[in-house]
Chains A and B, each alone.
Chain A
Amino acid sequence: MTMLPPHPSSPRTRWRNPLLWLAAALVAGLLWLLASGMGRDPRELPSMLVGKPFPAFDLPGMKPPAVRRTEQTLRGAPHLVNVWASWCVACKAEHPLLMALSAELAARGLNERLWGVNYKDTPGAAATWLQRGGDPYVDSVVDAQGRLGIELGIYGVPETFVTDASGTVLFRHAGPLTTDIIRDRILPLLVGTP
Chain B
Amino acid sequence: MTRSPTFHRLAGWRAIAAATLLCLTAQLSCAADAVDPDRFHALTQELRCVVCQNESLADSNAAIALDLKREIREQMAAGKSDADIRQFLIARYGNFITYRPPADASTLLLWAGPALLAMLAGLLLWRLHRSSQPSQPLVPIDAAPREDTHAQHDT
Contacts and interface: CB of A to CB of B under 8 A. Distances in A.
Given A9-B128, A26-B120, A45-B93, A155 B50 contact: yes
A40 to B, nearest CB: 13
B71 A4 contact: no
Interface stretch (A89-97, A133-141, A144-152, A163-171): A144-152
A145 B67 CA distance: 8
B108 interface: no
A45 B96 contact: yes
Chain A's interface: helix, strand, loop or mixed, by majority?
Answer: loop
B127 A17 contact: yes
Given A46-B94, A155-B51, A120 B141 contact: no
A43 interface: yes
Given A19-B127, A150-B67, A2 B92 contact: no
B17 interface: no
A123 interface: no
A153 B51 contact: no
Contacts of A17: 127-128, 131
Contacts of A22: 120, 124
Contacts of A7: 132-135
Contacts, number: 81
Tell which of A19, A42, A49, A156 has the most Cβ of chain B within 10 Å: A19
Interface residues of A, number: 35
A3 B131 contact: no
B139 A4 contact: yes
A44 to B, nearest CB: 10
B21 interface: no
B120 to A, nearest CB: 6
Contacts of B131: 9, 13-14, 17
A20 interface: yes
A150 B68 contact: yes
Nearest to B63: A120
B111 to A, nearest CB: 16
A42 B138 contact: no
B147 interface: no
Contacts of A19: 123-124, 127-128
B103 interface: no
B74 to A, nearest CB: 10
A103 B64 CA distance: 33
Contacts of A145: 67
B128 A20 contact: yes
5 contacts: A9-B132, A20-B128, A48-B90, A146-B63, A150-B71
Interface of B: 50-51, 53, 63-64, 67-68, 71, 90-94, 96, 117, 120-121, 123-124, 127-128, 131-135, 138-143
